[in-house]
Amino acid sequence: MSKYLYGLSVKDIQNLIFSTNELKSIIGGSGLIKSFEVDKQQYDKNIIINAAGNIKLVFEEDEKDRLLKLVLTLRREFGKKACGVEICQSIVKFEDGELKEAFKKLERELNVERNKAHLRFDFSNFLIKMAPKSGRPMVAGDDADLLTLQKNNYYNDNIKKDDDIAGLEIKTIPKNSKNKTAIIHADGNSLGIKIANLLKEAKTDKEVKDVYKNFSEKLEKITQDAFEEAIKPFKDKKRYKNIRKVILGGDDLAIICSADIALELTSKFIKAFERLSTQKLSFKNAENSKLTMCAGIAFCNHKFPFHYAIKLAESLCSYAKEQSRAMNSDLPPSSIMFHNIQSSSVSNYKNLIATELTFTNIIKSLDIGSVFIGKETKKESTKEHENVDVGLNFGPYFINEEDVRDSSFITMDRFLEFVKLFMKNNSPRSRLRDYLDILADNYTNSKTRLERISEMIASKNSGSDDFTTKEFEDKFQFGDKFSFTNPFVARIKDEKISCYTPFYDIISYFSITDIKKDEQ
């Protein structure tokens, strides 16, 4: 007997949620998206996945009319809840024993739907007044558009009470004393491969259905528990308490928090996610149960348009995934990439690397034997390289030490140790800014400046509370080819050797955070 696999997904969820910079609207929008599900009692036997605008249901042949009615009503129902929301739907017909292939076909068809242009219900012309905060048609008698009002109403009706009990602030965006906010986007690695491994032992449609259903439910629970564990250390600190969970479903995480805690919070979350997945997922081999995750963190002013910041965070996450796959394609290790937004065009991180974070042809002649080359880079037979670029994008920063051993990367924990080191007396933070300015123009002069800075540090050193270049070099663990006066590692970039320095990331971190010495 024929059956039907139905799938629904919400398009551009994050653009819908971050249409304004008002925290109330953002949190309300996130809650609104999470309410996009079918009635659990009515469709209990059909449900495979039913959460946050991601719905998968199976219907028997005799339920075909019920399915067609659902297709028509869900689009209308969700459209009423959130004006302008774009819904992608598809139905795949299959026979007994073909559910596994039906899932693959459904995902392909949903991807096609996502790439189609949809006509918005709230389209406008020049005669309609637009809401200044969202650029959508304004509702008569109000200064907001209909979608923003719906998100605000959802917050008031469903979330406000819990926020009041928890003492969470809704009027202001989480930020530090420098008005810097962090937008974090994290995403699991190679989940499709994990599911495929589980499906190898599934023989019947019921077993296939159980694999998808159980994995989805456990993954969401793991993600939720990992997040709660990660924020525990910050709940009692008033200045950090207002951590806002924006999107959290499956393996996806998007949050807004003070720039001061973003790196530590994200690192704690990913560590908890890895540990809990190993404990709670049902793989025969415990090592196979471990899930990994990459994250991108966009630091910005609290008034910067968040729909741009979240796109950059996604792009940073994608860049981290790309580098992680290069380290291990079977199970990409967890890593974090971050960037401080200083310009208006920031949606693509690779464009930023090309336009802002690369000094082109700075090193006129490089002896490849004079710089550290990690295991991830194929050793070059050519000893001399000319017109070598210097990249300021030193990351991503990995979570586990075993993943970076013998490579040219470091962990986030070690980066945070550098933060402590550069808070010591006699730290050269301000002088390193001058060094980078000189490096952009002349490599030889910049090397002379670093040697002079190193001499000044040594002459002023008087105790254990002072910064030392030796401690700096020891923390990197790159051997004698990496030093304070030769702060470069070599990696392949576009089939060409390029050098990378960590100084820019260290200086950037201090420019956006306001960490007190007693908080380290």
pLDDT at position 518 is: 45
Distance CA 50, CA 39 (A): 9
Tokens describing residue 424? 């010591």
| Pair 109, 4: CB distance under 8 Å | no
Peptide bond into 332 cis (omega under 30): no
Distance CA 212, CA 56 (A): 10
pLDDT at position 374 is: 86
Q: What is the largest CA-CA distance in the chain?
A: 85
pLDDT at position 122 is: 58
Mean pLDDT by 10 residues, the chain (520 residues): 93 86 92 91 93 91 95 91 90 95 95 81 68 79 86 94 86 91 94 86 91 90 93 84 76 87 96 93 67 96 92 96 92 96 85 94 87 78 81 97 94 94 90 95 94 91 83 88 93 85 96 70
pLDDT at position 183 is: 96
- E strands, 409-502, are 489-493, 496-500
Give the Å distances, CA to CA, from 210 to 40, 46, 194, 201: 17, 12, 15, 12
Closest CA to 251 of 520, 11, 54: 54
pLDDT at position 240 is: 78
